[in-house]
Structure 1
C-alpha cells in the first residue's frame, strides 16, 4: 500500500496497533478499516509487520507506521517475567490451562537465564498477589524510562497524535512500552482480547490498558475475574472480527469452484481435518493417518473426499510422509506469506492473502464434517452448521503426546460439556463418530448454536461497524 503523507492532520485519529498476521486478518481483511474511516477522520496503523505487507487499496486517510523490532533488555525481561509468572502462580490451582503453561515455562536447561527464571519461580511461589503483580509491572515500565524503544515509540505517538490507541492483541511484550509511552502523552488506550482462550489459559497481559473490547458476556466476566480493576473500566461486548469474512460477499465462492480447486469428487461427502500447530497438536499426523486407513480399508459409511488444512503457523513439512503414502488426500496449505525472517517470533510475521480467506470460507461452507484437536476451528465449522469431532488419544502414558489435557482447559471444558462436539479417545470411537456424523449431520446442531451464542456475543454482520463505533465512544469519553 502507498502511504499518502501529504494529507493535513485530522482532528479524530484512530491509532491501530497490528502485531501479527492474525491481527492483519482480523482487522485489515475484514471491514474494519472501511468502517473506521466512516467513524474517524484518519487511521494510523502502527505495525509490527513490514509496511509493504499492507497490500490494500490506497486510501487517502490511512497511514502505515512500521514499529521498530523491540529488543527487550535483561532488566525489563526480569520484571516482565516476574509479572507473568506471578499471574500464573495466582491462578494455577483453579485453571488447568494456566497451570500447564506455568509448568511449561519452568526451565530445564542450566543457562544463566534459566537460573534466573528458577529464582523467579521461587519468588513468585510466595509473592503473587495482585498487589505484587502491580509492583512488578511498575518496575517493568520504570526500566523502560530511558530505553531507546520508549523514546522511539513516544516520538512516533507525538508525531501522529492519535485520539485513541487500539491494540488488536493484549499479550506481546513490546506492547508494554507502547502503552506506557501513550499514557505518558495522555493518549487513551484500548485492547481487544485476542482469542477465546487467552484469559483462562495464558499469562498476564502486556499492560493495564484503559478500556477493553471482548467477544461475549462470558469473556467480560472472565476479564473481571482475572483483572479485578477492569470492573471500574469501560469494557464492551462487540463479538470478534475473526469470523466476519464469513458474511462478506467478497469472500464468497461457488460449490463448483470448491470441488474444482481442491480436485474433489462432487458425488462424495468431504471430510476436512484441520491441523493445529506442531507445538500443541503433535498428534495430527497420527490422526490423519488413521482416517486415511479407514478410507483404504473401506470402513466408512459413505464414500468420501479427504481434505487436510495445515496450520498457517507452519509450512506443512511434518506431513511429507503422509503426502507420499496417501495420494488421495488433498492438501490445503494456507496462503500465509512470511514477510520478515530473523525475527524473534517468526510465526507472527506470516500474513494471510485474501485468497486464503476465500479458500477457508469455501472449505467451511462445503465440507460435510470437520475433525480437529480442540482448536478454534471447531467454532468456525459450527458457524456453518457442520458436525465436529475432536480426537484426543494421547494420555501422557501411551506413546502419543498428551492432548487429553486440553479437555480440562476451562474454555474447552465448556465445549465438551455443551455436547456440541464429539470427543473421541481411541480409534474405535473415532470410526464410530465419523460414520454417525456422516449419517446424522445435524445431530448436535442445537447444542452448537447454544455454544456459539455463549462464545460469540454478537452477530457476525456489522462486527467492524460495531467495533469502530465503540472505539469512537471510548475516544470521546
Structure 2
C-alpha cells in the first residue's frame, strides 16, 4: 500500500522547490500518494492539477507575533554570548515605536527578551508559543483535516513560517511524523527555525552541523542531509534555448555580450540602484573603447519599489529589463509566487550572460552551475547616511564564512576598479568559477541534481 505524504505549504516560498520542479513526479514514480496541504492563496489544484487539501482557517494567536519576535531575539542573544560573536545582533530588526500600540508591543517584547535570553529560556518561549497556537481555531481545524485524510507523514516545505506552527502541532499530537525542510542557505544562524519537528532535512553537511550547533534540543539522528531541489532546473537541458531564439523573444541584440545585474531586496541592499548605475557607467566606458556590451537587469521578485526607474531610463540604450516571471497573488512579500515559466527564463539568463553581478545574492550559485563568474559589490555608496544600512555588513554574516577562500567570488571593493574587473573577466583573465564550485559544494552539497530523489528516499526510510 502506498504511503500518503502531505506536502505542506505554510506560505508560497516552497512552491518553487516542491511544486514546479520534478519533485512530485519523482515521488509518485516511487509509489508515494502525494497530497499538497495548502495554506497559500495559490490553488495547486486549479493551476497545476495537483491533489490538494486547502487550509481555509489562517488564524493565529494574537500574541504569536510578540512571542515569536522575542524568541528570535533571545536566540540571537544566546548565540552572541555562547559563541562570543558580535555578528548575531546585526540580524535583528529595529523595534517599532510608532504609535501607542507598537510602543506597547516593543516594550512587551523587550521584557520577554530580558526574562528568556538563555538556552532554557528559549525552550520556555518555544513551549509558550506552542501553548498559544494549540488554543487557536486553526489548530482544531488542521487536526480535523489530518484525522479525515490520515497521512503517514507531513513534510513541511519551510522551517521559517509561523503559519506552520499550529498545523504541525496538530500532526505531532496525532502521532503523525513531521519533517521540516530548512529552506535557505542563511536561515540557521539567523534564528529562523520557527518550528520543532521530528526530523529536519538540510542542504549539506555544513547546514546539518549548524542545526546541531544552534539547536541543542535537536539530536543528530533527527537531521538528514538531502540537498535542495532549488538548483535542479539548472541541470535540465530541455530548458535551454538557443542564443538566437532567447534573444529574439526578449528583444536582445544578438551582437552584444550581456552582463546580468541581479537586483536585491530593499532590506539587504537599500542603495542597490546605485550599483546598477555604476555598472552602466563602466559598460558605457568599455563600449566607448570598442566593446559591445549590454546589461540584463533581473530584479528581485519581491521588490516593487520604483528606485531603479531613473537609472534604467537614463541608460535604456544599455539596460534591458527581464523581470522574473512571478505573480503577485496577495499583498505580503511571501504572496509573490514564482511560476514554472521562470525556471526557463532564469536558466537562459544564466546561460547567455557573460557573468552576474550583485550585492551578496545566492545567484552566485545559479550562475556557477552554468560555469559563469560573479562580481560582488562591496564598497559604500556616497548616498549612504545615518539610518541607511551599509551593505558591507552582509559579507560579515555567518553564511559567508562558508567560503573556502575570498576568491570564491570576485569582490569589487572600489567603484574605480569595476571597469577593470569587467574587462579582465571578459578577456578570460579573471574568474571565480573553480573556487566557487568548491563553495557551491560546501553549501549545496555534493549531488545538486539528486536532491528530490534523496528527499523521497529519506522519507521512505523514515516511514519504514
- Could you tell me the TM-score, scaled by structure 2's length? 0.92
Aligned equivalent of 2:415, options 427, 441, 455: 427
Aligned equivalent of 2:89, options 96, 99, 110: 99
Match of 2:173 in 1: 184
Provide the C-alpha distance between the structure 1 equivalents of 2:383 and 2:260, rounded to a whole number of angstroms: 28
Aligned equivalent of 2:358, options 362, 372, 397: 372
Alignment of 1:245-394 (within 5 A): 245-298=233-286, 302-315=291-304, 317-328=306-317, 329-341=319-331, 346-394=332-380
Structure-2 change in CA distance of 1:416 and 1:454 (3 Å): closer
Helix, strand or coil at the partner of 1:317: coil
8 A Cα contact 2:155 2:180, kept in partner: yes
Provide the C-alpha distance between the structure 2 equivalents of 1:125 and 1:40, rounded to a whole number of angstroms: 50
Which stretch of the first structure deviates more once superposed, 74-83 or 459-468?
Answer: 74-83
Match of 1:473 in 2: 461
Which stretch of the first structure deviates more once superposed, 332-341 or 371-380?
Answer: 332-341
Which stretch of the first structure deviates more once superposed, 78-87 or 133-142?
Answer: 78-87
Match of 1:227 in 2: 215
Alignment of 1:204-215 (within 5 A): 204-215=192-203
Structure-2 change in CA distance of 1:109 and 1:300 (3 Å): farther
5+ unaligned residues in a row in structure 2: which ranges?
none
Structure-2 change in CA distance of 1:78 and 1:259 (3 Å): closer
How far does residue 382 in structure 1 lie from its aligned partner after superposition? 1.3
Match of 1:415 in 2: 403
Helix, strand or coil at the partner of 2:206: helix
Structure-2 change in CA distance of 1:147 and 1:402 (3 Å): same
Matched, 1:42 2:42: no
Structure-2 change in CA distance of 1:222 and 1:294 (3 Å): same
Provide the C-alpha distance between the structure 2 equivalents of 1:441 and 1:243, rounded to a whole number of angstroms: 27
How far does residue 234 in structure 1 lie from its aligned partner after superposition? 2.3
Match of 1:144 in 2: 133
8 A Cα contact 2:404 2:439, kept in partner: no
Helix, strand or coil at the partner of 1:313: coil
How far does residue 403 in structure 1 lie from its aligned partner after superposition? 0.3
How far does residue 140 in structure 1 lie from its aligned partner after superposition? 1.6
Aligned equivalent of 1:109, options 79, 98, 102: 98
Match of 2:153 in 1: 164
5+ unaligned residues in a row in structure 1: which ranges?
1-9
How far does residue 452 in structure 1 lie from its aligned partner after superposition? 1.3
Deviation by residue 1:283-319 (Cα, 9 ceiling, x = unmatched): 2210111121223334667321211001111346332
Which stretch of the first structure deviates more once superposed, 355-364 or 126-135?
Answer: 126-135
Runs of 4+ in 1 over 6 A off after TM superposition: none
Aligned residue pairs, count: 458
Matched, 1:15 2:3: no
How far does residue 63 in structure 1 lie from its aligned partner after superposition? 1.8
Helix, strand or coil at the partner of 1:294: helix
Provide the C-alpha distance between the structure 1 equivalents of 2:398 and 2:176, rounded to a whole number of angstroms: 35
Deviation by residue 1:398-426 (Cα, 9 ceiling, x = unmatched): 44741001010011243383411111233
Structure-2 change in CA distance of 1:51 and 1:28 (3 Å): same
8 A Cα contact 2:283 2:419, kept in partner: no
8 A Cα contact 1:197 1:411, kept in partner: yes
Structure-2 change in CA distance of 1:33 and 1:79 (3 Å): same
Helix, strand or coil at the partner of 1:228: coil
8 A Cα contact 1:51 1:65, kept in partner: no
- Could you tell me the TM-score, scaled by structure 1's length? 0.89
8 A Cα contact 1:14 1:164, kept in partner: yes
How far does residue 127 in structure 1 lie from its aligned partner after superposition? 2.8
Provide the C-alpha distance between the structure 2 equivalents of 1:294 and 1:442, rounded to a whole number of angstroms: 17
Structure 1 vs Structure 2 CA RMSD: 2.4
Aligned equivalent of 2:22, options 20, 31, 34: 31
Match of 1:456 in 2: 444
